Amino acid sequence: MPNYRRNRIEGGCYFFTVNLLVRNQTPLLVNNIDLLRDVVKRVRARYPFHIDGWVILPDHMHCIWTLPKGDMDYSNRIRLIKGMFSKRLPKEEWLSPVRHLKGERGI
């Protein structure tokens, strides 16, 4: 299991890179940009953050956020964005038996 180092600073500025499971195979993110925008809008309404920069590429994205003062919960925001986006996509991808048993998506 990875041993991630998390830097938690209230009101901090954070950089993320989020990848698809299989890169260079599908332009999933750019093909579903409107869905991604809607999900981000919904999460920001509930858990505000400032978008300093965001780049969407076919198979991954980079984003820079600044959280409100007194808030350092970036992990919940990214988890909600990933989860809501995944749940609203049509289930068209191939799933391994293990992912299927765990109820995971193959994106």
CATH number reported for the structural domain that contains residue 25 in this entry:
3.30.70.1290
5: in domain = no
85: in domain = yes
Containing structural domain, residue 40: 13-102
pLDDT tens sequence across 23-38: 877 899 999 999 999 9
How confident is the model at residue 4, as a pLDDT? 67
CB within 8 Å of 67: residues ≥ 6 apart: 10, 11, 12, 13, 14, 49, 50, 73, 74
How confident is the model at residue 101, as a pLDDT? 85
For the cut 90, the answer to whether the pLDDT of residue 71 exceeds it is yes
How confident is the model at residue 53, as a pLDDT? 98
How confident is the model at residue 1, as a pLDDT? 60
The reported pTM is 0.86
8: in domain = no
For the cut 80, the answer to whether the pLDDT of residue 11 exceeds it is yes
CB within 8 Å of 68: residues ≥ 6 apart: 11, 48, 49
| Mean pLDDT confidence for 56-66 | 96
Measured in degrees and rounded to the nearest 5, phi and psi for residue 53 equal -170, 150
